[in-house]
Amino acid sequence: MKITNKTEILNLLEQEDDIINPLGFKHNNGLLKKDMNKKINEIAGFCEQILKVVRKFDKDKEIVFLECSCGKSYLSFVLSYILEREFNTTPFFFGVDTNKELIERCEEIRSVLGYKNMTFKHGRTIDFTPDKKVDVVIALHACNTATDEAIAKGIKIGAKYIMIVPCCHGQLRSQIKSHHPLTNVTQFGLLRYKFADILTDALRSQFLLGNGYYVELLEIVSPKLTPKNILISARKIKGRNKRNLEGYYELGSMFNTNFGLQEFFQERSSNDTLVCTC
Ligand SMILES: C[S@@+](CC[C@H](N)C(=O)[O-])C[C@H]1O[C@@H](n2cnc3c(N)ncnc32)[C@H](O)[C@@H]1O
């Protein structure tokens, strides 16, 4: 196993045209596209953390990943490449996204790379039913509440690991203007914006804790590269117990918010498609 950290992953990606070219990260003249620099760094930083988790599985196990809001599935393709090449193991990947064209693009890339260990599905994460037991749910910048769908789906299917790097956090921004103890903070637009992000990720983490997961938060890349750099990394350690959700409900009521994670565990009355605003 040669690859251990983000820098080594970046070096590998920059050198290996057989993965970087099908993903469209380079110009025809062989230079890396400048606008892909941020994405490549995010993927390398995320992969670094996922590889730590991979090492905890038996070497012979086929690790099954579900990438929610996969877009062009850069993360899954890179991960598959690294795991086969450096770890001598072939994982399986499900990718799901509401954008049909992107799912078709994933199929094209898969076919160019000749990978047979991937299935892509057009639709909402919450509606997707994998036909294999999923070990690790991953999501990089799933828009707004699509991140919550990934968390809810991971809990519902009993994934051992749920690793989420959220994107925009729109849901609470308008809800925390008044009627809570920190209105002297949230009366300022910029602070309300930042505080909504923190509160949203705290609620997500409390929800995971309450559902039997051990939760850590860490940065996958420098905040100078992107403020959307926080990984919520959760590992299942015990069963689901509604009583353990007190932290989640307490936090929600302290800020008088209506955060919807628990609603994914109720019967849905509509199937509205989310609109990406990021
Ligand atoms: C910002 S992009 C990120 C794509 C990819 N993960 C990446 O990092 O390049 C967000 C993606 O979420 C998808 N999306 C939005 N709502 C979704 C949902 N409810 N279920 C699945 N995908 C969703 C969008 O179509 C879009 O491709």
| Model confidence band, residue 94 (pLDDT cutoffs 50, 70, 90) | very high
Count the alpha carbons within 13 Å of 191 in the hemisphere toward its beta carbon: 8
Question: What's the CA-to-centroid distance between 68 and ligand 1, angstroms?
Answer: 7
Q: Find the mean pLDDT for residues 191-196.
A: 94
Strand partners, 118: 93
Distance 175 CA to ligand 1 centre (A): 24
pLDDT higher than 80, residue 243 = no
Q: What pLDDT score was predicted for residue 238? A: 86
Q: Ligand 1 test: best mutation among 40, 97, 137, 228, most atoms within 8 Å of CB?
A: 97
Query: Which pLDDT belongs to residue 204?
Result: 96
Higher confidence at residue 188 or residue 170? 188
Rounded to whole angstroms, the Cα distance separating 136 from 216 reads 15
Average pLDDT score over residue span 51-61 = 93
Average pLDDT, the chain: 91
Residues 154-171: what's their mean pLDDT? 93
* 277 has a pLDDT exceeding 50: no
Per-residue pLDDT, 1 = 54
- Which of 8-17, 131-140, 243-252, 265-274 shows the lowest per-residue confidence on average (mean pLDDT)? 265-274
Residue pointed to by tokens 């639709």: 123
Give helix 74-86 / helix 6-15 axis angle, nearest 10°.
90
What is the pLDDT, as a whole number, of residue 158?
A: 96
pLDDT score at 278? 39
The reported pLDDT for the residue numbered 27 is: 87
In the structure, what pLDDT confidence band is assigned to residue 273 with cuts at 50, 70 and 90?
Answer: very low
Atom of ligand 1 nearest to the CA of 67: 6
Instruction: Please give all residues whose beta carbon lies within 6 A of any atom in ligand 1, as ranges.
Output: 68-71, 74, 96-99, 102, 124-125, 140-143, 146, 149, 167, 274, 276, 278
> According to the model, what pLDDT value does residue 269 have?
47
**Which domains does the chain carry?**
6-167+215-240 (3.40.50.150)
Q: Does the pLDDT value for residue 19 go beyond 70?
A: yes
Amino acid at 86: E
Asked if residue 258 has pLDDT above 80, the reply is yes
Q: Helices marked H in 6-145 — which ranges?
A: 6-15, 17-20, 37-54, 74-86, 100-113
Q: Report the percent of the chain where pLDDT is more than 90.
A: 72
Average pLDDT over residues 212-237: 95
Check residue 16 and give its pLDDT: 85
Which range has the top average pLDDT, 11-15, 129-133, 256-260, 268-272? 129-133
Q: Are 165 and 220 in contact (CB under 8 A)?
A: yes
Query: Averaged over 104-131, what is the pLDDT?
Result: 97
Answer left, alpha or beta for residue 10, where phi above 0 means left and psi between -120 and 50 means alpha.
alpha
148-160: pLDDT as tens digits: 999 999 999 999 9
CA of 278 to the centre of ligand 1 (A): 10
Residue 181, pLDDT above cutoff 60: yes
